[in-house]
A and B are shown apart, each in its own frame.
Chain A
Amino acid sequence: MENAIEVRNLRTHYGNIEILKGISLNVPKGLITAILGGSGCGKSTLLKHLIGLLKPTEGNIIINGRDIAGMNERDMDEVRKKIGVLFQGAALLNSMTVGDNVALPLREHTRLEGSTIQIMVRMKLDLVGLSGFDKFYPSQLSGGMKKRAGLARALAMDPEILFFDEPSAGLDPITAAGIDELILRLKDIFRITIIVVTHELASLFRIADHVIMLDRGEKVFEGELDELRASDNPRIRCFLERQAEEREYTPEDYFRIIAGD
């Protein structure tokens, strides 16, 4: 299997504190990779390194065959154009309409005509289920709609790789399930490589192909979803069972999800 990203011996610090303690992992191309782990174990830190926002103390991060760990900003900008990011609290610009928010990266990074960009914006908004909302301001949208609008913006440049940091945090289960379905569609239709940091088991089992689990800065598991389910590693069992106790859906929610609206 071809890898979109390969991480080798990644070591990172905030000040003197070692956060990621020599992690190696692969992100297979065209699949959904979920990153799991308790709060504070270094998931967001890992993502920030994968998109070149932070530079590691040590190690290699190979994206499409190129090591971004020591890359200069100019080359990094080229790599970033093929990357879409939807982070926690990665807010839309409130002073701009949803349509302008989605158009912004295209206006900044390409020479496309305004007329072409307008059509692209409508395509992206339609893709995330926000057709007709281009003239709305972010403040006029619900939490779930803001997430979708953020996703439309992350998709603006037709990325090859998409990163999500806890995309369903703060959303009700039905809205969260809607985001999961959208993530699956992006994989199926556009064959985008997707990396999702997630807490929610429901989401994990619905969307993940490949799973990486971190614990206190170390990788404790990497493999397919089935292997995770079957694992007898106590740290993994503990994570899965603790999570399973927190009922995600009421039966009514579940019925509405599977019955379709």
Chain B
Amino acid sequence: MKTDAMEIEVLSYRGIDVLKVYGDIDLYSSPGLRKNLISIICKKPGTLLVDLSNVSYIDSSGIATFVEGLKNMMCYGGRLKFIGLPDRIREIFSFSRLDKVFEIYDGIDQAI
């Protein structure tokens, strides 16, 4: 069973929170992702960057986790921005048309 296929790093870049995810975001790792995401969002950052450049796979539980995160940030006007989406993940986002809802940027400097 996949349990520890994912790792998370929380960084700060020019005063902005960056959540960097490594590995697979799946049914088993999504609860850990959610914990990290929610604990950052609780502090109501104006912007949160999520770096997916090292993510090889995301399933619907991962997408649902980000949907919940964005929903929580929208309540107070915060912005959730994604950078470094691998092609396959961008495809999955665009199929569900979430690419129109999530803010997606190529790199960190375009995002801030």
Contact = CB atoms under 8 A, between A and B. Distances in A.
Nearest to A105: B27
A189 B34 contact: no
A110 B27 contact: yes
B31 A111 contact: yes
Contact of A116 (B26, B28, B65, B92): B65
- Grouping DSSP codes into helix (H, G, I), strand (E, B) and loop, the B interface class, with mixed when no group exceeds half, is helix
A34 B34 CA distance: 39
A110 B61 contact: yes
Interface string B17-29: 0000000001110
Contact of A157 (B27, B34, B68, B96): B27
Contacts of B65: 116
B60 A120 contact: yes
Interface in B12-44: 26-28, 30-31, 34
A123 B34 contact: no
Contacts of B34: 113, 116
B13 to A, nearest CB: 27
A212 interface: no
A119 B68 contact: yes
Contact of A110 (B28, B63, B68, B96): B28
B31 A113 contact: yes
Given A116-B34, A158-B59, A189-B92, A106 B27 contact: yes
A189 B60 contact: no
B76 interface: no
Interface residues of B, number: 19
Contacts, number: 48
B74 interface: no
A39 interface: no
B90 to A, nearest CB: 13
Interface of B: 1, 26-28, 30-31, 34, 59-61, 63-65, 67-68, 91-92, 95-96
Given A116-B31, A123-B96, A124-B60, 15 more contacts: A81-B1, A110-B28, A111-B28, A112-B30, A113-B31, A113-B34, A115-B68, A116-B30, A116-B61, A117-B64, A120-B64, A123-B60, A123-B63, A157-B27, A189-B91
What are the 7 tightest A-B residue pairs by CB atom distance, in nearest-first order? Answer: A119-B64, A158-B59, A120-B64, A110-B27, A116-B64, A189-B95, A111-B31
20 contacts: A81-B1, A81-B27, A106-B27, A109-B27, A110-B27, A111-B28, A111-B31, A112-B27, A112-B31, A112-B61, A113-B34, A116-B61, A116-B64, A117-B64, A119-B64, A123-B96, A157-B27, A158-B60, A158-B61, A189-B95
